């Protein structure tokens, strides 16, 4: 179950607008850093990777999964879920993202279970709409509880 696989301390609704995508990445990775999932350099690695490769992690309209390579500061596998009140513009053709799923993967295999459960939830457009409209961490947890 996704609800049991995700550290609930890595889930939050950000109640203020963030204009720069770099600030959004720093905000979401700070949660991972504070809980010992990544080092302080991980946010910079994501930002540099985006400059180098573009916003490859914008999955679809409204959803982005910022991440970088494991050797750039990942200490253990974790996933942060953050909902922003207005979309963060990463420069993707898919448009801005309100839902940031910040991934810290220790290697290419250990996060598969979380990604599979997450994709089950996100395949339903109604769940995406509910997540986008969420105004509290409790609402987010209630949505993922079914997965």
For residues 2 and 22, the model is more confident at 22
Residues 6 or more apart in contact with residue 43 via CB below 8 angstroms: 25, 26, 29, 30, 33
Say if CB 60 and CB 90 are below 8 A apart. no
| Domain ranges, residue 133 | 2-145
Q: Which two tokens stand for residue 63?
A: 């959803």
What whole-number distance in Å separates Cα of residue 86 and Cα of residue 19? 9
pLDDT computed for residue 32 by the predictor: 97
pLDDT computed for residue 110 by the predictor: 66
Is residue 40 scored above 70 in pLDDT? yes
- What's 108's domain CATH number? 3.40.930.10
Convert the pLDDT of each residue in 60-115 to its tens digit: 999 999 999 999 999 999 999 999 999 999 999 999 999 999 999 888 776 677 78
For residue 83, give the H/E element and its range: strand 78-88
**Parallel, antiparallel, or unpaired for β 11-13 and 78-88?**
parallel
Structural domains counted in the chain:
1
Say if CB 39 and CB 69 are below 8 A apart. no
Q: Is the pTM of this model over 0.85?
A: yes
pLDDT computed for residue 43 by the predictor: 98
Q: Is 67 a catalytic residue?
A: yes
Candidate list 8, 16, 67, 111, residue with the active-site label: 67
């Amino acid at each position: 179950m996704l609800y049991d696989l995700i550290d609930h301390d890595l889930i939050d609704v950000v109640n203020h607008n963030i204009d720069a995508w770099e600030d959004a990445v720093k905000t979401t990775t700070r949660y991972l850093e504070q809980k010992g999932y990544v080092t302080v350099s991980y946010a910079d690695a994501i930002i540099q990777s985006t400059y180098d490769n573009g916003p490859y992690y914008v999955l679809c309209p409204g959803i982005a999964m910022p991440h970088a390579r494991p050797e750039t500061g990942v200490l253990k596998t974790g996933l942060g879920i953050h909902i922003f009140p207005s979309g963060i513009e990463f420069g993707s053709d898919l448009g801005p993202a309100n839902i940031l799923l910040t991934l810290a993967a220790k290697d290419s295999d250990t996060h598969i279970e979380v990604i599979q459960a997450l994709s089950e939830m996100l395949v339903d457009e109604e769940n995406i709409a509910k997540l986008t409209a969420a105004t509290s961490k409790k609402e987010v947890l209630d949505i993922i509880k079914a997965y």
